[in-house]
Amino acid sequence: MAKPTRSRWFTKLALATIAILSIALQACGSSSQSSSGPVNLTFWSWVPNIQKSVDLFNSTHSNIHVTLNSVTAGNNGTYAKMLTALKAGNAPDLGQIEYQFLPTFESVGGLVDLSQYGASSLQSDFVPWTWKQVTVGNAVYAIPQDSGPEAMFYRKDLFTKYNLPVPTTWAQFQQDAVALHTADPSAYITDFPPKDAGWFIGLIWQAGGRWFRINGQSWNINVNDTASMQVASYWQNMLSNNLVKTDPDFSTAWYNDLQTGTVATWLTAVWGANTIMSNAPSTSGDWAVAPMPQWTAGQQVYGNWGGSTTVVFKDSKYPQQAAEFAQWLNTNSQSVQDMVQGAQLYPALQSALSSSYINQPSAFYGNQNIYQVFQTISGNVDVNFQWGPTMNQVFQDMSDSFSNVTNGQGTLNSALNSLQSSTVTYMQQQGFSVNGG
């Protein structure tokens, strides 16, 4: 079934923290206004060095001037400020929003449908799964900017030292985990970060789990579907047999694991390349990238972790000009190149993926052209994965329950069963029509 139009996509509200937004936003819309001089737009973004792209736009568009407001990344207060601004009717013209939180903003009517300003014509310019993330029926609610196709970063030196085959299946990955930890009890195949829901959901995505679906005017919720429980069982076995570390990722201990070889792999998105380079510099030449292990030998199915978009908020007095900037920012070749080189993001623009400034051997990764691996992976990310409208609640509940599991309380499977129940209950409390649980 094709996704319904916006009027059938969401019912009432997304989160308790933004419940009061709906009435205010229904009462106010935005329409393009004429201006005798340059139109002034505001843009909230956390992308490092994106000012260079903004400056290039301003220098080539005399009728529009964009002012950048640098904010903190993702959900660290930025989304709350955006939602508060929407309630007050003074949101910026444009903003940076991650894929998983687009439904939250659309559920309160906060986003402009960019299809009315020609955005639909850009569909073929972007990686297919990213376009699916920003569209509902014929509506286009954001322009993709970057993505996070996932692969396996692995320590070549450790795999050679312990005579481990580079795994192509999850069964082989577990065999390697046993062999490595048996040979060196202080070494582990990888880390299981208990508080990073996005990491685990990326694995669910690859396995075919589909937590949120639309059925008419209702949401179908299946957090504990068969694929998700398979992934949970796999990692519960790894935890129960002490085959993985459980350091919170991006912590001091976790960075030390990368540096010292305590972990032999990091299952992560393309942006992880820069994380390793920046935080484990002494391991230069020791790392390589391989496709993510598969559940069935010979398949090429992958998930995604991260990435964001450019949206136009409903409060914009100049939605047409704002839409022009959003589209230009993410399709102009020089703009995209500047963002890649200035922020190390992995673009969603198809043409950029084969560009010379991305496809170069990396000395840190043993002169491997790791982005060729990611280009293949990006083309095989399942397009049908959909986020729900209450991901704040989902992420928090997962973080709490998975942390309990790593401390010996319950299992990952029971945690998903609990998450199914809490998500259904929470969405119903917010006024959504929900099936499941």
Do the domains 150-303+385-435 and 6-147+307-355 match in fold? yes
CA distance linking residue 255 with residue 275, whole number of Å: 9
Q: What is the pLDDT of residue 77?
A: 83
CA distance linking residue 11 with residue 8, whole number of Å: 7
Q: What is the pLDDT of residue 217?
A: 83
Q: What is the pLDDT of residue 37?
A: 77
Low-confidence ranges of the chain (pLDDT < 70): 1-36, 74-76, 436-437
CA distance linking residue 395 with residue 104, whole number of Å: 13
Q: What is the pLDDT of residue 28?
A: 44
Contact between 191 and 246 under an 8 Å Cβ cutoff? The reply is: yes
* Fold assignment, 150-303+385-435: D-Maltodextrin-Binding Protein; domain 2 (3.40.190)
pTM above 0.85, yes or no: yes
CA distance linking residue 265 with residue 258, whole number of Å: 8
Q: CB atoms < 10 A from the CB of 125, how many?
A: 17
Please report, in angstroms and rounded to a whole number, the separation of the first and last CA atoms in the chain: 22
Q: How many Å is the Cα radius of gyration of the chain?
A: 22
Q: What is the CATH number of domain 6-147+307-355?
A: 3.40.190.10
Q: Domain boundaries in the chain?
A: 6-147+307-355, 150-303+385-435
